[in-house]
């Protein structure tokens, strides 16, 4: 069964059960400082999970584009990808556990014909410290589901991941795990959740690949949450029940919600009993296109990273130095590095782009609409990195002072030679790199230098040179490595990944975006700022994104030049004049076609549902000063905002400016 068919069947299955189809949100989240990218299907749904009214009603379904930067280093195994599609269905205060478990099991077993004997489920085993009860109801519901298929579902108490390694399967079908595994919130376990964060117990579903042997490095015994690859999580039913409050305890949400997310890539693997997502039709054409001289892992990395890059560019991300843009830059450069040994490797990359755009143009027409831009952005980044790679590499190596002899090495001579080669034959990047490195290497080896793991890792993390390039140079020129070079390098990489993971988790502890009093005020102020920029700079301005914290607002917009001091002063005046007018902020829900006719501002090229929310500032929608497609929340009257002050206006990329402002 192909991906397009499974996606279609999922959407239609829940549409028949009263769900409205809503489009995927952008990979770039709006007004959410907790994360750089949309990393789950529930992320755009947070306002509605907290009690807001979704324009489409109480039941919705979609396939959401997702990207998780924390998985970049994991790509290459049988299940990790950076970009993925999350099939999702939601109930906002409507149905709950009984209907969800019944329907999702019907979809898996009856609709797409997954063998129930290969499915295992996990449930929440309770958290005594936080007074959160064991999910007995989910266990009984799953027992009934399996009984319908002639399976007696034995229940096993796992508790923690460590216990799971000791207990193993024990003939179980349903497994109780603790909050580390079967509690869901964006921040992780109940202890880590910030005030205001919604969460609840979940029930995950795992498909068993009998052909995969358990690897004991992950524990003596295998179990559903084992990382050996035998069991693959294909979906998660979240019973969104609680919200964390100021005293650290949990209270019930205004209404109970269902949040289901199932990775399309993994569901395809399970349906076809293929224990490798890269062997599904989503990747097959690109993997088959890549030449056999590439390793299997390199093929997977290229196939994954190029797909992610295409969708990121279509959603407005550009290679750059800020956090979000640097992720895209890293993906493109890794692909370039892994392919550059190939003849005409730039054409290979552009052909991969063509294959993916053709594959996704019906489901996500935006990638086809932005085809020219995608190609131009990728081509420019490849040219830039190839032009500067040798200079950066030699600069980094010389900074390290690998041997006494390098102190005598004339850097200007190397750079002059490289520039001369580039001027004579601009496209001969490999020749350029090879000549410069040959010169460097002969000097290093003549003076007895040694390349240590620590120095190689420095080149990678500080100078931004991909590890594949560093190792390729070592092979080509016979650089001597220290003892246990590879083992030490692996230890450093693991430590670096752990630090990155902790940094990613820490971002969530700042609180739920858009719901504290100050965040709501700043969110409302961005609407005033957006309109004031149009008033002063004209309709060349287009919103590119925003970021709200309790301390300030950040607003990105397209504009070709730096704002003058007079223009900034005028924008401040307009915003403060409007705040002084004490206009109300009101909301109206209407069909998308009618909403567009009102002139309400929105992200052009973005897909919106048939029913949209418009927030407008004024007495009525026709004469409102500002009106935008928006999910809220906002203050009731702009007179409560305080004094608006622009703190900084700067360029963040070509043609894109950023304003940081505060309310006093």
Q: pLDDT value at position 604?
A: 54
pLDDT beyond 60 at 281: yes
Q: pLDDT value at position 100?
A: 98
Percent of the chain at pLDDT > 90 equals 49
pLDDT tens digit sequence for 151-179: 999 999 987 766 777 888 999 999 999 99
Nearest-10 Cα torsion for 621, 627, 633, 634: -80
- What CATH number belongs to 3-279? 3.30.930.10
Read off the pLDDT of each residue in 235-260 and give the average, rounded to a whole number.
93
Read off the pLDDT of each residue in 17-23 and give the average, rounded to a whole number.
96
Read off the pLDDT of each residue in 353-368 and give the average, rounded to a whole number.
94
Read off the pLDDT of each residue in 598-615 and give the average, rounded to a whole number.
73
pLDDT beyond 70 at 585: yes
Instruction: Locate all alpha helices (DSSP H) within 16-156, ordered by sequence.
Output: 46-49, 97-106, 136-148
Q: Quick check: 62 and 21 in contact, CB under 8 A?
A: yes
Read off the pLDDT of each residue in 111-123 and give the average, rounded to a whole number.
97
Q: Quick check: 313 and 327 in contact, CB under 8 A?
A: no
pLDDT tens digit sequence for 369-425: 999 999 999 999 888 776 665 555 554 444 443 333 333 334 444 444 444 444 444
DSSP class of residue 550 equals S
Q: How confident is the model at residue 268 (pLDDT cuts 50, 70, 90)?
A: very high
Name the helix (H) or strand (E) containing 284. helix 281-289
pLDDT beyond 70 at 623: yes
pLDDT tens digit sequence for 62-84: 999 999 988 888 888 888 899 99
Least confident of 228-242, 324-338, 345-359, 460-474: 460-474
Q: pLDDT value at position 465?
A: 59
Least confident of 236-240, 356-360, 384-388, 413-417: 413-417
Q: pLDDT value at position 491?
A: 82
Read off the pLDDT of each residue in 245-251 and give the average, rounded to a whole number.
91
Q: Where along the chain do its domains lie?
A: 3-279, 289-385, 392-482, 517-663
Q: pLDDT value at position 429?
A: 44
Q: pLDDT value at position 404?
A: 32
The structure tokens listed for 30 are 């709006």
pLDDT beyond 80 at 95: yes
Read off the pLDDT of each residue in 532-543 and give the average, rounded to a whole number.
89
Q: pLDDT value at position 398?
A: 46
More confident residue, 146 or 429: 146
Average pLDDT, the chain: 83
Q: How confident is the model at residue 11 (pLDDT cuts 50, 70, 90)?
A: very high
Taking the model in full, what pTM does it have? 0.68
Taking each helix axis from N to C terminus, what angle separates 3-15 and 97-106, rounded to the nearest 10 degrees?
140
pLDDT beyond 90 at 143: yes
Least confident of 137-141, 585-589, 591-595: 591-595
The structure tokens listed for 279 are 């062997």
Q: pLDDT value at position 496?
A: 67
Q: pLDDT value at position 402?
A: 38
Closest CA to 615 of 92, 30, 88: 30
Read off the pLDDT of each residue in 14-32 and give the average, rounded to a whole number.
91
Q: How confident is the model at residue 466 (pLDDT cuts 50, 70, 90)?
A: low
pLDDT tens digit sequence for 187-210: 788 988 888 888 999 999 999 999
Which CATH number among 3.30.980.10, 2.40.160.40, 3.30.450.90, 3.20.20.70 corresponds to the domain 517-663?
A: 3.30.980.10
Q: pLDDT value at position 89?
A: 97
Read off the pLDDT of each residue in 596-604 and give the average, rounded to a whole number.
76
- SS (HEC) of 411-471: HHHHHHHHHHHHHHCCCCHHHHHHHHHHHHHHHHHHCCCCECHHHHHHHHHCCCCCHHHHH
| CA distance readout (Å), 3 to 289, 304, 358, 359 | 19, 16, 14, 10
Residue found by looking up tokens 């200079």 in the block: 391
- SS (HEC) of 331-346: HHHHHHHHHCCCCCHH
DSSP string for 14-39 = HHTTTPEE-PPPPSS-SS-TT-SS--
Least confident of 59-73, 284-298, 361-375, 496-510: 496-510
Q: pLDDT value at position 467?
A: 66
Calpha distance 440→410 (Å, rounded): 10
The structure tokens listed for 269 are 């693997």
Q: How confident is the model at residue 583 (pLDDT cuts 50, 70, 90)?
A: very high
Q: pLDDT value at position 418?
A: 44
Q: pLDDT value at position 399?
A: 44
Read off the pLDDT of each residue in 11-25 and give the average, rounded to a whole number.
96
Least confident of 363-372, 432-441, 598-607: 432-441
Q: pLDDT value at position 601?
A: 83
Residues 6+ apart with CB under 8 A from 56: 20, 22, 609, 610, 611
More confident residue, 659 or 451: 659
More confident residue, 333 or 139: 139
Residues 6+ apart with CB under 8 A from 353: 306, 310, 371, 374, 375, 378
More confident residue, 545 or 451: 545
Calpha distance 334→570 (Å, rounded): 45
Least confident of 49-58, 258-267, 427-436, 604-613: 427-436
Least confident of 33-42, 178-187, 428-437: 428-437
More confident residue, 439 or 571: 571
Q: pLDDT value at position 468?
A: 61
pLDDT beyond 70 at 473: no
pLDDT beyond 60 at 537: yes
């Amino acid at each position: 069964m192909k991906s397009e068919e499974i996606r279609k069947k999922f959407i239609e299955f829940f549409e028949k059960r009263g769900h409205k189809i809503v489009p995927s949100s952008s990979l770039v989240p709006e007004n959410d400082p907790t994360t750089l990218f949309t990393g789950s299907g529930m992320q755009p749904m947070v306002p509605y999970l907290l009690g807001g009214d979704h324009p489409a009603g109480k039941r919705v379904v979609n396939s959401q584009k997702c990207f998780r930067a924390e998985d970049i280093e994991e790509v290459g195994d049988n299940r990790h990808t950076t970009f993925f599609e999350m099939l999702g269905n939601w109930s906002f205060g409507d149905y709950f556990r009984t209907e969800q478990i019944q329907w999702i099991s019907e979809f898996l077993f009856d609709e797409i014909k997954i063998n129930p004997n290969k499915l295992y489920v996990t449930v929440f085993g309770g958290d005594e410290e936080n007074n959160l009860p064991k999910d007995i109801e989910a266990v009984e519901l799953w027992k009934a589901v399996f009984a319908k298929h002639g399976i007696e579902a034995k229940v096993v108490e796992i508790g923690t991941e460590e216990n799971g390694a000791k207990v193993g399967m024990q003939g179980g079908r349903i497994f109780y795990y603790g909050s580390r595994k079967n509690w869901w919130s964006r921040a992780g376990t109940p202890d880590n959740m910030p005030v205001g964060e919604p969460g609840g117990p979940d029930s995950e579903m795992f498909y068993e690949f009998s052909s995969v042997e358990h690897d004991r490095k992950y524990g003596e015994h295998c179990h559903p949450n084992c990382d050996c690859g035998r069991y693959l999580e294909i979906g998660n039913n979240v019973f969104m029940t609680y919200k964390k409050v100021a005293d650290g305890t949990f209270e019930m949400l205004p209404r109970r919600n269902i949040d289901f997310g199932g990775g399309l890539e993994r569901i395809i693997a399970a349906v076809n009993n293929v224990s490798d997502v890269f062997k599904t039709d989503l990747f097959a054409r690109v993997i088959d296109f890549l030449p056999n001289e590439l390793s299997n892992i390199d093929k997977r990395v290229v196939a994954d990273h190029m797909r992610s890059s295409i969708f990121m560019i279509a959603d407005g991300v550009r290679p750059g130095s800020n956090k979000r843009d640097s992720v895209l830059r890293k993906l493109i450069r890794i692909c370039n590095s892994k392919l550059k040994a190939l003849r005409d490797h730039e054409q290979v990359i552009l052909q991969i782009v063509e294959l993916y755009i053709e594959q996704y143009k019906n489901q996500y027409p935006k990638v086809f609409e932005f085809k020219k831009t995608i190609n131009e952005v990728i081509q420019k980044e490849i040219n830039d990195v190839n032009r500067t790679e040798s200079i950066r590499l030699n600069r980094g190596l010389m900074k390290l002072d690998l041997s006494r002899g390098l102190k005598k090495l004339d850097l200007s001579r190397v750079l002059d030679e490289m520039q001369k080669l580039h001027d004579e034959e601009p496209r001969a990047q490999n020749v350029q790199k090879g000549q410069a490195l040959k010169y460097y290497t002969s000097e290093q080896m003549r003076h007895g230098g040694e390349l240590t793991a620590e120095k190689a890792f420095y080149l990678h993390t500080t100078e931004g040179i991909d590890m594949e390039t560093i190792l390729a140079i070592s092979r080509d020129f016979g650089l001597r490595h220290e003892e246990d070079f590879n083992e030490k390098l692996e230890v450093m990489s693991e430590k670096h990944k752990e630090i990155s993971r902790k940094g990613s988790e820490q971002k969530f502890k700042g609180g739920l975006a858009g719901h504290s009093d100050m965040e709501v005020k700043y969110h409302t102020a961005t609407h005033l700022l957006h309109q004031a920029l149009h008033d002063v700079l004209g309709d060349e301005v287009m919103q590119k994104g925003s970021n709200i914290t309790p301390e300030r607002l950040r607003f990105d917009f397209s504009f070709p030049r730096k704002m003058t001091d007079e223009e900034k002063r005028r924008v401040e005046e307009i915003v403060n004049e409007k705040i002084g007018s004490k206009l109300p902020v009101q909301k109206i829900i209407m069909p998308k076609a009618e909403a567009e006719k009102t002139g309400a501002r929105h992200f052009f090229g973005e897909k919106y549902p048939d029913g949209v929310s418009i927030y407008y500032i004024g007495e009525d929608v026709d004469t409102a000063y500002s009106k935008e497609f928006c999910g809220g929340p906002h203050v009731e009257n702009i007179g409560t905002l305080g004094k608006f002050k622009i703190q900084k206006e700067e360029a963040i990329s070509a043609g894109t400016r950023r304003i940081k402002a505060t309310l006093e």
